[in-house]
């Protein structure tokens, strides 16, 4: 099939053996690639109820047929494994340049098993692969590791930082120093295997069925993305959402106690863009450039220049910690990139600790210092301690659910994963999205907030009647994660509906994709994830945090809550649509 290189690299870290294997075209036809191919492989090959940090847990890097083609928004690759944070199936993706470079190196994906006795890194250079000693790299941060490897290898590097080495349960895999396969702890799995980095480059051509139609689709997406109402996405990026969520009372604040942050103006995307932005940056073959290089105004030890933060990070280290010091949020984001950690889980876990400290559940002796709301200096110290698993950081490294369970407290998590930046009481479609996502609380499996807050085509305060819309969105986004296309850019380029996706895949592969065919594949991918979780004993409806059933105490959505009886009925209806009775 066109769009594929037809080859996977299998890496056995126990023996050090590397081997090429043919891409299974039947699996590719049924699951496309990326997230789909990954979950099929994981369900078939991973031992039942395996410890995520054991050598037997597979770590799968997959591109999709659309990755690296002449179409728009196709920079992504996907990482699939069993999550050490949630014990669920984990699919995490990242943009930048690594995915297209892997395909140019001659491979659709890399399948990793076992554990190396000593630290190693993998080099894939135009069809040739080699494991190299990484003893001198172990202990270096993401930026340092990338720089050292690129002294001799002018390709793209995906690496873990100290957090991955120390198996922090939400450690990330970072490529291009700032692009993260962020959620759920894939970096911890990589660290458990003593695999420090994977460097890729090549000159091989990616075969496509109709390059001219893909180029035309690119131009169409560009024209759309730079017309109103999409233009601010290219100018400000994802941080544009913060002010709007605060306006409707849905901005998580004080560990999800409320949805309105009085000092939000100090940390909005507009403020970030005006006071700190230097330039915009793009992923491979993307004309939008929603990423932003930002610079702090501190003088000592020197001004910090970094990429980001994204909108979710402004929430997790900002409003949810009651922190309006924007420079400190930039620093926390940069630390997480360098140390290799998910900013959403890190910030939200600190917010939980702040609440527990205020309630007296945690003491100054436990934390080794006071931990008051808005304490930006202590936030930065705890980020560093978490990556090193030192002192109280060792408990934070376990994530919110384990930290709370140890002290008989309730965390604000869904399926043991910390939610992104939407209070479910004010944006009720996101309550359903969080609760039904197979990997745990997630805004990238079904962004109901787009319809409820941005486009306002759904009543954000209504719960009943959204089951079919949620399922359709989940199945469609499973296609996007499997082909792979950037979901944010596709939305702003208006090339993310069923027909567009079918056309792009047809132009790429030469096969005749239809809406009906894609709906079938999307449902198959999602159902395999549900099946994996059921097999691992973490399937079925998750118990949501009780706080969503309590009235919002303040802000524009004051008094709003999720009705518990209605919730139970809607959840049952949703799983019936999935062909499951729980």
**Do 497 and 528 have their domain in common?**
yes
The whole domain housing 98 covers: 7-201
Lowest mean pLDDT among 156-160, 306-310, 364-368, 438-442: 306-310
pLDDT for the residue 304: 85
As for how many domains the chain has, the answer is 3
Peptide bond into 309 cis (omega under 30): yes
**Do 371 and 493 have their domain in common?**
no
pLDDT for the residue 299: 56
Residue of higher predicted confidence among 149 and 222 = 149
Residue 211 covered by a domain: no
pLDDT in tens, 310-329: 999 999 999 999 999 999 99
pLDDT for the residue 356: 98
**Do 500 and 400 have their domain in common?**
no
pLDDT for the residue 240: 92
SS3 content of the chain, % helix, strand, coil (to 5): 40, 15, 45
Residue of higher predicted confidence among 304 and 214 = 214
User: What counts of helices (H) and strands (E) characterise the chain?
Assistant: 24, 15
CATH number, position 155: 3.60.9.10
pLDDT at 300 over 90: no
**Do 180 and 290 have their domain in common?**
no
pLDDT in tens, 236-279: 889 999 999 999 999 999 999 999 999 999 999 999 999 888 88
Which residues contact residue 359 at a Cβ distance below 8 angstroms, ignoring those fewer than 6 apart? none
- Please state the φ and ψ torsions of residue 136, each to the nearest 5 degrees: -75, -15
Across 79-103, average pLDDT: 97
**Do 103 and 243 have their domain in common?**
no
Of 201, 216, 240, the one marking the end of a domain is 201
pLDDT in tens, 474-522: 999 999 999 999 999 999 999 999 999 999 999 999 999 999 999 999 9
State percent of the chain over pLDDT 90.
92
Residue of higher predicted confidence among 189 and 294 = 189
**What tokens does 316 get?**
């997790």
pLDDT for the residue 235: 87
Give the number of C-alpha atoms closer than 13 A to the C-alpha of residue 318, restricted to the C-beta side.
35
pLDDT for the residue 138: 98
pLDDT for the residue 38: 98
Q: Which residue has the tokens 């270096």?
A: 140
**Do 54 and 99 have their domain in common?**
yes
Measure the CA–CA gap between 471 and 467, rounded to whole angstroms: 6
| Mean of all residue pLDDT scores within the chain | 96
pLDDT in tens, 372-388: 999 999 999 999 999 99
pLDDT for the residue 1: 87
Residue 441 covered by a domain: yes
Farthest-apart Cα atoms in the chain, separation: 65
Q: Which residues pair with 280 in a beta bridge?
A: 292
**What tokens does 1 get?**
């099939």
pLDDT for the residue 296: 84
Identify which of 2, 35, 179, 53 has the alpha carbon closest to the alpha carbon of residue 476: 35
CB of 550 closer than 8 Å to CB of 557: no
Query: DSSP class of residue 452?
Result: I
**Do 387 and 437 have their domain in common?**
no
CATH number, position 286: 1.10.569.10
pLDDT at 26 over 70: yes
Task: Estimate the crossing angle of helix 343-358 against helix 376-388, to 10 degrees.
Answer: 120
Residue 414 covered by a domain: no
pLDDT for the residue 230: 84
Residue of higher predicted confidence among 551 and 287 = 551
- Going by pLDDT thresholds of 50, 70 and 90, the confidence category of residue 455 is very high
CB of 280 closer than 8 Å to CB of 290: yes
Measure the CA–CA gap between 196 and 142, rounded to whole angstroms: 10
Residue 206 covered by a domain: no
Residue 559 covered by a domain: yes
pLDDT at 298 over 80: no
Measure the CA–CA gap between 344 and 68, rounded to whole angstroms: 28
Which residues contact residue 106 at a Cβ distance below 8 angstroms, ignoring those fewer than 6 apart? 5, 7, 124, 126, 127, 202, 204
**What tokens does 440 get?**
């745990």
pLDDT in tens, 203-247: 999 999 999 999 999 999 999 988 888 888 888 889 999 999 999
Cα 210 to Cα 41, 287, 501: the distances in Å are 29, 21, 15
**Do 192 and 242 have their domain in common?**
no
CATH number, position 487: 1.10.599.10
Q: Which residue has the tokens 């995307």?
A: 269
Residue 221 covered by a domain: no
Q: Which residues pair with 120 in a beta bridge?
A: 133, 195
Peptide bond into 144 cis (omega under 30): no
Measure the CA–CA gap between 414 and 398, rounded to whole angstroms: 15
**What tokens does 277 get?**
């932005």
Measure the CA–CA gap between 155 and 176, rounded to whole angstroms: 10
pLDDT in tens, 393-409: 999 999 999 999 999 99
- Going by pLDDT thresholds of 50, 70 and 90, the confidence category of residue 27 is very high
pLDDT at 301 over 70: no
pLDDT for the residue 302: 59
Measure the CA–CA gap between 344 and 339, rounded to whole angstroms: 14
């Amino acid at each position: 099939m066109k769009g594929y290189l037809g080859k996977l690299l299998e890496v056995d870290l126990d023996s050090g053996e590397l081997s090429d294997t043919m891409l299974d075209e039947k699996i590719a036809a049924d699951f496309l690639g990326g997230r789909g191919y990954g979950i099929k492989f994981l369900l078939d090959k991973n031992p039942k109820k395996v410890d995520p940090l054991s050598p037997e847990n597979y770590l799968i890097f997959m591109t999709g047929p659309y990755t690296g083609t002449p179409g728009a928004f196709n920079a992504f690759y996907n990482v699939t494994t069993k999550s050490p944070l949630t014990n669920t199936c984990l699919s995490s993706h990242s943009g930048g340049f690594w995915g297209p470079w892997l395909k140019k190196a001659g491979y659709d994906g890399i399948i990793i098993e076992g554990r190396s006795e000593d630290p190693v890194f993998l080099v894939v250079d135009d069809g040739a692969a080699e494991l190299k000693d990484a003893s001198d790299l172990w202990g270096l941060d993401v930026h340092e590791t990338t720089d050292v490897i690129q002294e001799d290898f002018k390709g793209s590097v995906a690496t873990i930082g100290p957090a991955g080495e120390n198996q922090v349960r939400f450690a990330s895999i970072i490529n291009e120093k700032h692009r993260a396969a962020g959620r759920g702890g894939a970096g911890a799995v990589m660290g458990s295997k003593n695999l420090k980095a994977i460097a890729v480059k090549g000159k091989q051509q990616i075969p496509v069925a109709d390059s001219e139609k893909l180029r035309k689709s690119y131009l169409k997406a560009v024209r759309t993305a730079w017309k109103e109402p999409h233009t601010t996405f290219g100018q400000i990026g994802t941080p544009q959402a913060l002010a709007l969520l605060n306006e409707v009372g849905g901005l998580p604040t004080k560990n999800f106690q409320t949805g309105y942050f009085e000092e939000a103006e100090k940390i909005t995307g507009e403020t970030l863009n005006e006071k700190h932005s230097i330039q915009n940056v793009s992923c491979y073959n993307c004309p939008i450039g929603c990423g932003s290089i930002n610079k702090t105004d501190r003088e000592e030890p020197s001004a910090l220049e970094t990429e980001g933060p994204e909108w979710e990070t402004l929430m997790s280290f900002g409003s949810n910690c009651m922190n309006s010091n924007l420079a400190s949020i930039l620093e926390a984001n940069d630390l997480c990139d360098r140390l290799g950690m998910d900013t959403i889980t890190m910030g939200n876990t600190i917010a939980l600790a702040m609440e527990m400290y205020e309630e007296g559940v945690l003491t100054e002796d436990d934390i080794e210092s006071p931990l008051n709301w808005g304490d930006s200096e202590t936030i930065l110290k705890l980020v560093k301690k978490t990556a090193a698993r030192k002192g109280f950081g060792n408990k934070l490294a376990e994530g919110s659910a384990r930290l709370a369970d140890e002290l008989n407290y309730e965390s604000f998590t869904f399926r043991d994963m910390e939610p992104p930046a939407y209070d479910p009481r004010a944006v009720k479609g996101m309550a359903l999205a969080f609760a039904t996502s197979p990997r745990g609380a997630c805004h990238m499996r079904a962004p109901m907030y787009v319809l409820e807050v941005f486009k306002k085509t759904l009543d954000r305060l209504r719960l009943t009647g959204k089951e079919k819309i949620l399922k359709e969105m989940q199945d469609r986004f499973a296609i996007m994660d499997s082909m792979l296309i950037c979901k944010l850019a596709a939305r702003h380029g208006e090339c993310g509906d069923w027909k567009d996706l079918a056309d792009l895949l047809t132009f790429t592969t030469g096969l005749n994709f239809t809406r009906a065919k894609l709906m079938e594949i999307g449902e198959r991918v999602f159902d395999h994830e549900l099946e994996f979780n059921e097999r691992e004993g973490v399937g079925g409806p998750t118990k949501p945090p009780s706080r969503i059933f309590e009235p919002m105490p303040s802000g524009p959505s004051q008094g709003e809550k999720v009705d518990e009886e209605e919730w139970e009925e809607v959840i049952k209806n949703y799983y019936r649509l999935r062909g499951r009775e729980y």
